[in-house]
C-alpha cells in the first residue's frame, strides 16, 4: 500500500517547525521516519501534513556537560551505538541503540523519534526510564524539561503538547562502580522486544548493591520501571537467589498482553529470565 496524499513541510528552524505544527491542522513530525512511514503506508495513520525536522541544524550531537550526557533529538541510533563517549559513560544506552532494528533502521531512525513514538515494545523508552533521563522540549513560548517517568502516558501517547518538539535527551552520568546492560527477546534480529530489560547496577565499596534500576519493554502499555525488584537488590550482596527474586518481582509488576509474539504467561516468565541475565551482565561491566 502507499500513503494517502499529504503535504511535506521542511522548516529551517525549530520556531518555524513549531509554527507549522500550530497552524497546520492534522500535522505530525517526521524525524527518521522508521516508525511513522510504515504506519502511513499501512494507512493506520494518515496525517495531512508532515513537518520534517531533517533540515534544521543543531539537532544531532553527543556531548558531555557537567554530569550529563546530552544527545540531540535527531541523533541516529547508529551514532549513539557507535559513540565511544556513550559506550564509556552509559553502556546501557549504547547497547540499547545497537539492538534497534537492522543497520538500515539504525542509520535513519533517531533517538528523539523513537522516544516520541512511545511504542511500549521499543528499546530506547525502557532504557531512558531506567536511566532516569530528562527531555528538553521546545514550545511556542518557552522550553521545558520533562522527566522520562512523566513522559510516557499510554501506548503511543506522550505528554508532549501538539506544538511541542523534543530537542534534547539528557542522561545522568552513572556514578563510579556502575555497570549496565540491555537485553531483549525478539522473534528476529530486527524485531521489537517481546520482552526487553534495561539494567543499571551500582555497587558500594564493600561490593553490595548501592543502587539498582530496571526498565522493562514490551510488557505494559508504557515502558515500566520495576521498582519492587530494585528494592529487593538494594543494600544486598547480589547472589543468584537474590537475582531470581528480583526477576519474580519484576514479573509481578509487568502487565503484558497476549499477541503474535507470545502469551501473557510466556512474557511474564521471560521477564524473570531476562532480568536475571541483565543484572548478571551489568555486574561483569563494573
Domain range for 99 is 62-172
The Cα 175–Cα 199 span in angstroms is 14
Q: What is the full per-residue pLDDT of the chain (286 aa) written as tens digits?
A: 788 999 999 999 999 999 999 999 999 999 999 999 999 999 999 999 999 999 999 999 999 998 999 999 999 999 999 999 999 999 999 999 999 988 999 999 999 999 999 999 999 999 999 999 999 999 988 999 999 999 999 999 999 998 999 999 999 999 999 999 999 998 776 688 999 999 999 999 999 999 999 999 999 999 999 999 999 999 999 999 999 999 999 999 999 999 988 999 999 999 999 999 999 999 999 9
Residue 2 lies in a domain: no
Q: Is residue 192 in a domain?
A: yes
Q: How far apart are CA 165 and CA 74, in angstroms?
A: 11
Per the DSSP assignment, residues forming a β-bridge with 70 are: 63, 170
**Cα-only R_g, the chain:** 19
Question: CA–CA separation, 88 vs 250, rounded Å?
Answer: 27
Q: Which residues are registered as beta bridge partners of 50?
A: 8, 28
How many domains is the chain partitioned into structurally? 3
Look up the CATH number of the domain holding residue 35. 3.30.43.10
- Within a domain: residue 196? yes
Q: Is residue 1 part of a domain?
A: no
What CATH number should be reported for the domain holding residue 186?
3.30.390.50
Task: State whether 15 and 94 are in the same domain.
Answer: no
- Which residues on neighbouring strands pair with residue 235, listed in sequence order? none
Amino acid at each position: 500500500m502507499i500513503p494517502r496524499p499529504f503535504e511535506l513541510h521542511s522548516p529551517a528552524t525549530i520556531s518555524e517547525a513549531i509554527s507549522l505544527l500550530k497552524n497546520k491542522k492534522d500535522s505530525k513530525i517526521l524525524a527518521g521516519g522508521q516508525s511513522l512511514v510504515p504506519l502511513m503506508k499501512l494507512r493506520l495513520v494518515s496525517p495531512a501534513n508532515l513537518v520534517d525536522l531533517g533540515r534544521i541544524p543543531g539537532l544531532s550531537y553527543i556531548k558531555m556537560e557537567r554530569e550529563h550526557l546530552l544527545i540531540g533529538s535527531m541523533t541516529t541510533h547508529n551514532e549513539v551505538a557507535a559513540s565511544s563517549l556513550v559506550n564509556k559513560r552509559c553502556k546501557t544506552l549504547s547497547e540499547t541503540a545497537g539492538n534497534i532494528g537492522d543497520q538500515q533502521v539504525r542509520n535513519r531512525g533517531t533517538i528523539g523519534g523513537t522516544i516520541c513514538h512511545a511504542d511500549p515494545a521499543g528499546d530506547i523508552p525502557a532504557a531512558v526510564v531506567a536511566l532516569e533521563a530528562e527531555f528538553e522540549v521546545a514550545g511556542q513560548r518557552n522550553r521545558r524539561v520533562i522527566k522520562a517517568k512523566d513522559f510516557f502516558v499510554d501506548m503511543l501517547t506522550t505528554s508532549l503538547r501538539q506544538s511541542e518538539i523534543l530537542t534534547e535527551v539528557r542522561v545522568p552520568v552513572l556514578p563510579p562502580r556502575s555497570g549496565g546492560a540491555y537485553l531483549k527477546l525478539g522473534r528476529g534480529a530486527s524485531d521489537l522486544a517481546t520482552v526487553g530489560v534495561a539494567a543499571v547496577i551500582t555497587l558500594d565499596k564493600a561490593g553490595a548493591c548501592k543502587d539498582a534500576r530496571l526498565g522493562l519493554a514490551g510488557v505494559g502499555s508504557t515502558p515500566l520501571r520495576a521498582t519492587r525488584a530494585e528494592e529487593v537488590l538494594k543494600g544486598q550482596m547480589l547472589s543468584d537467589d537474590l537475582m531470581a527474586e528480583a526477576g519474580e518481582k519484576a514479573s509481578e509488576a509487568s502487565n503484558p498482553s497476549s499477541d503474535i509474539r507470545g502469551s501473557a504467561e510466556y512474557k511474564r516468565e521471560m521477564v524473570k529470565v531476562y532480568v536475571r541475565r541483565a543484572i548478571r551482565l551489568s555486574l561483569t561491566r563494573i
